[in-house]
Structure 1
């Protein structure tokens, strides 16, 4: 899922620092006094760090932060509005990839006043107010979402007056809609249909490279997955090549490591275990299960680039577990939102089929999110892994970080938190007359630049319905793609690429040691409700996700997973 210029992008992207110290934070704001109303400034601010531009009349700049980075498990120390168009992020540790992360749609900006009015009753989940090229018109649950062009957009206006999102779980159904002309573009056509699309003069296929991972998850807080020999046996007892050969399109590959090899340091260290059912059975017997055991396989019936045929793959894994290891696994299909919530919270007792597509093209996006100290997904996190990741995340030079990631990858192999199976090739298909169609390596196609042959409406069909449109607290690609048409972050990625460019901020300038980023905001930007964009909107949008005890730290599930794993949470409960 990479653009052709991916390697040029990687040369300029810096290493993400996802360092999470292992203690309870002490935050300046008090839970009884909502920070949105009366922000608290950490004491003893040095004069050089005070606002350089006096705020305009009526503007009271918000400042949020912790007094000290000691006994605190996050990266961010302070977020401060210096004036109406300047925000400063002060960090506890260097973060070379701050800009790459800040461009991600999970950190989009909405009006401070709207967050205060709409978060508590969760109205914000289905009515985002952003600054993007489209504004939400209506959402008919189970059917479609309709967006309208935002004529006061600060940048280049959308090519079409109306954008419609629809969805269908079956690849064949999406292709039929495209062939009949009822939609203009579809995501993830089935592997068997790639050649059909290529040979049809009325259609165009744009392939994504495999910047993703599909894995077989387990949770080590449940028996028998708490036993290392059991997890290692499963790692050796699955014929991963068979799965790729039978269910994946050209451009896919068996995963030698969790991270795709095109990402620096992704594939340093030892390759994954070879298929060896005899050795796997020996390990099971050593662990006390010579006759296997009973368990379940959970999945959601949603076609993804990393998992194009979830039902067929689940059935194949079920058969392999029985044939190779005498493990009897019942297949359980779950609703998409419930599956994501239960699996990523570490509450599924059994195997589960899940994957990941790159949000920003760096190894920390893959390893730190999944194996960091704060993530309960695979059960109790392994310090042998996350302590190495925390070291690597501080290093800007990928070559200097290589020895650390070699050790980390080897520990992931040794401890088997999950089984990496495939990097899945995928694609996007459009009608032949669509101009500006593209396949984003990050899965965030941007429809404002697409012209559907002069028609006033562009209809897009994806794999599933969004869970919500408050993407600060969502992780599924279907929700994120919809959010990205309406909402914007401080920075953005190039259309169809991975390089960071200005968005709501014209620049975010670091200090010499990369512990402070000062972002200059774009002037004269309006939200969809007509209100003016300013620095307090930025602070509020970030703070409700960052501060675990903020009265508006609500979201959809309340997990705020991206913020938690990529930045750390202020006032988070002490680790058990």
Structure 2
């Protein structure tokens, strides 16, 4: 996830792999030469960094997690075979120093970093890699629940004893520094997906000691084992120390035996402060040093007070979703094109989104492979919208328009304001709008998923830098928020996305995705891409060294906190 900044195109994957091989060789040499001076020696500077978290983590085992607050913490504790270059969304070596794939894209050989220890003192090696993969693949009972193993199911598919096929086939450890992962098919997502926190490496010894797989369903929730509650054990620059639920405080401490540059602070504290206004007050009082997603309306006052507001590169998409199930008019492509012409994206971006936001022409940022520069564009043209509606016999079109309350998303900082702007655009084109607002976790997502909304606001922040992580997630199945059996394009599009994801030749795959993006905007138009929005993070003047991530996946080992 990194170095592909907005406005820049990412290097072709084949070139990136060659660069990765070079990085691996250089890294191996440089690590051997400077382990004493830069990586193995030279401790941190001490002190404490306190971060104001918007919510409580569900647990501390990243494999069973799917929420950002858990990942924000476990990302400091655990590491994956691959990581993401700081400040970008591009993959780079982490616990692996390099990798090779076979021409069919099914067998991947990873060269592993030597001398790495888990926090419990056990060795990270190829056997540990295979035990992690086998743990994920052999989940049983509650462990196969989509709410627990969400990222495995989304990326790898089924389990060893399940009916659904799995992308994963096997893992081999021919020697301690070589791990071979065998897949059942090629996919454009590999190895990038291994940078997700859910697929980070954890100590097999600690997981066995604290019964990591002993998770049980209890009604609509789960009971987690001791490992997930208080013993997460990775290789990262911070170690887990405690979670005081009485005051909502999670404490991590510096890993003094870390293989890389040691963390610059001795302690990393996460304080759970759900109210954004309170987080701002706590920052201004000096009780916390940083927090995420400040209200855009507060940015000027925060900066005027001497704080630093860092704006991440946008790696997301907000779109106006169109459900075709209940409203037959929306099955007509002319009607969907009329909606696209009705929307004034440029004004929306300027009036309702943070500085640096951009109007979107397709369903992912231009830094992702397969982006097409020549897609059909829909300029704001109410007269053209009315003409298309008339041609379709829908001059009196009425739609229900869902928008969420009690939520702020990186791509959607002000749902009410965004809804109001779009509703006015639609009314200007002669479309009657019936608003429906519901809490994000109080009916909104359920209604959208169950196709009750004609139009709806939704979006996505990329997990990693591949086309399938965006448009494959949105449109890769016929059981999605947009498709209805009355619209045969759904099955066709899903099949094309599957073939593109499975194409091992990078050049051909990118051409396939470009063709899909062109047709998404002209032939299918299942939704209307609106904008890419840069989410912000704020730090006090005492904080130095924070490198922001377009994936909102900051790592805090580089951060120091001054006494002033």
Calculate the TM-score normalised by the size of structure 1.
0.61
8 Å CA contact 1:14–1:96 kept in 2: the answer is no
CA distance in 2, matches of 1:55, 1:95: 24
How big is each residue's C-alpha offset from its partner over 1:21-72, in whole Å with a ceiling of 9 and x where there is no partner?
xxxxxxxxxxxxxxxxxxxxxxxxxxx99xxx9999xx999596999x9xx9
What SS class does the counterpart of residue 242 from structure 2 fall into? Answer: strand
For 1:256, the equivalent position in structure 2 comes to 361
1:100-111 matched pairs, under 5 angstroms: 100-108=192-200, 111=207
Residues 138 and 352 (structure 1 numbering): CA distance in 2 closer, same or farther, change over 3 Å?
A: farther
Cα distance in 2 for residues equivalent to 1:416 and 1:262: 21
1:165-180 equivalent positions in 2, closer than 5 A: 165-168=271-274, 170=276, 174-180=279-285
1:137 touches 1:148 (CA, 8 Å); kept in 2?
Answer: yes
Measured after TM superposition, the shift of residue 243 of structure 1 is 0.7
Is 1:76 aligned to 2:147, yes or no?
A: no
Contact 1:297 1:352 in 2 (8 A): yes
- Higher share in helix: 2
* Partner residue, 1:319: 424
What is the aligned partner in structure 2 of residue 410 from structure 1? 518
Matched-pair contact (CA < 8 Å) for 1:251–1:425: yes
Separation in 1 of the partners of 2:507 and 2:377?
Answer: 22
Structure 2 portions without partners, runs of 5+: 18-106, 109-124, 139-156
Structure 1: tracts of 5 or more residues without a match:
17-47, 456-576
Quote the residue 1:475 is aligned against: none
Does the CA contact (< 8 Å) of 1:295 and 1:351 recur in 2? yes
Match of 1:91 in 2: 183
* Counterpart contact for 1:129–1:135, Cα < 8 Å: yes
Change (3 A) 1:433 1:120: same
Going from structure 1 to structure 2, the CA distance change for 1:61 and 1:137 (only over 3 Å counts) comes to closer
Moved more, 203-212 or 154-163: 154-163
> Is the contact between residue 318 and residue 411 of structure 2 (CA under 8 Å) also seen in structure 1?
yes
1:235 aligns to 2:344 (yes or no) = no
Given candidates 213, 230, 236, the residue that maps to 1:116 is: 213
Structure 1 position 104, deviation (Å): 0.9
Does structure 2 conserve the Cα–Cα contact (< 8 Å) formed by 1:301 and 1:311?
no
Aligned pairs for 1:154-193 (under 5 A) are 155=259, 159-168=265-274, 170=276, 174-193=279-298
Question: Residues of 1 paired with 2:133 and 2:512: CA distance?
Answer: 41
Question: For residues 232-286 of structure 1, what are the alpha-carbon distances to aligned partners after superposition, in whole Å with 9 as ceiling and x for unaligned?
Answer: 3222221111110101222211101111112232234414322222232333344
State the shift of 1:351 in Å: 2.2
Instruction: Say if 2:403 and 2:415, in contact at 8 Å, map to a contact too.
Output: no
- What is the RMSD computed on CA atoms of the aligned residues? 4.2
Q: Compared with structure 1, are the counterparts of its residues 106 and 97 closer, same or farther at alpha carbon in structure 2 (3 Å cutoff)?
A: same
- Corresponding residue SS for 1:259: coil
Kindly indicate whether structure 1 or structure 2 has the higher relative contact order, using CA contacts under 8 Å at least 6 residues apart: 1
Deviations 1:67-88 (A, max 9, x none): 9x9xx97561513465997765
1:453 deviates by 2.7
Taking the aligned partners of 2:230 and 2:317, their CA distance within structure 1 comes to: 30
Query: CA 1:75 to 1:337, structure 2 compared with 1: closer, same or farther past 3 Å?
Result: farther
Structure 2 Cα separation of the partners of residues 276 and 100 of structure 1: 40
Q: 1:162 to 1:194 in 2, by over 3 A?
A: closer
Q: Is the partner of 1:116 in helix, strand or coil?
A: coil
1:309 equivalenced with 2:414 (yes/no): yes
Q: Equivalents in 2 of 1:54, 1:404: separation in Å?
A: 35
- Give me the whole-angstrom Cα distance separating, in 2, the residues matched to 1:259 and 1:60: 32
Q: Is the 8 A contact 2:358 2:532 kept in 1?
A: yes
Shift of residue 337, structure 1, vs aligned partner:
7.2
Question: In 2 relative to 1, CA 235–346 (structure 1 residues): closer, same or farther, beyond 3 Å?
Answer: farther
